[in-house]
Amino acid sequence: MSRKFGLIALAAVAAIAAAQTAGNSLLNSYGKALNDAKSVRSTYTVQTIGSAPDTYTIALKKPNLARVETPAGTVVADGKTVTTYTKADNTYFKRPQTESDMKALLVSDELNLLAGFFDPKAYDAPRTRTLGQRNINGASMNVVEATLGKKAKTYFISGADNVAHKSQIDLNDPNGKVTTIIDAKNLELNTDLPDSTFTFTPPAGARELSADEIEAGRWYTNLDEALKIAHASGKRVFIDFMATWCGPCKMLEHECFGTPEFKALGKKYVFCRIDVDEQPSLAKKYGAESIPLQVILDKSGSSVQDQLLGYGGSARFFEFMNRNAK
Marked catalytic residue, from 106, 182, 249, 293: 249
Of 249, 253, 278, residue with least CA distance to 112 = 278
| Helix boundaries (H) for 87-184 | 101-105
Give the chain's radius of gyration (CA, Å): 22
Q: Is the peptide bond before 202 cis (omega within 30 degrees of 0)?
A: no
The helix/strand/coil state of 313 is coil
| Phi/psi at 168 (5° precision) | -130, 130
Judge whether 246 counts as a catalytic residue.
Answer: yes
pTM of the model: 0.70
Indicate the CATH number for domain 2-198.
Answer: 2.50.20.10
| Phi/psi at 48 (5° precision) | -85, 130
Q: Is the pLDDT of residue 207 over 60?
A: yes
Homologous superfamily of 210-324 in CATH?
Answer: Glutaredoxin (3.40.30.10)
pLDDT tens sequence across 86-143: 887 788 888 889 887 888 788 888 899 999 999 988 998 888 999 999 998 888 999 9
Marked catalytic residue, from 246, 256, 283, 321: 246
Instruction: Supply the pLDDT for residue 226.
Output: 83
Of 93, 91, 95, 67, residue with least CA distance to 80 = 95
Q: Report the distance separating Cα 100 and Cα 267, nearest Å.
A: 28
CA angle 264, 266, 267 (to 5 degrees): 85
Instruction: Give the β-pairing of 151-158 and 139-148.
Output: antiparallel
Q: Where are the domains of the chain?
A: 2-198, 210-324
pLDDT tens sequence across 157-202: 998 999 999 999 987 765 667 899 999 999 999 999 999 999 999 9
Distances (CA, A) of 248 to 243, 253, 254: 10, 9, 10
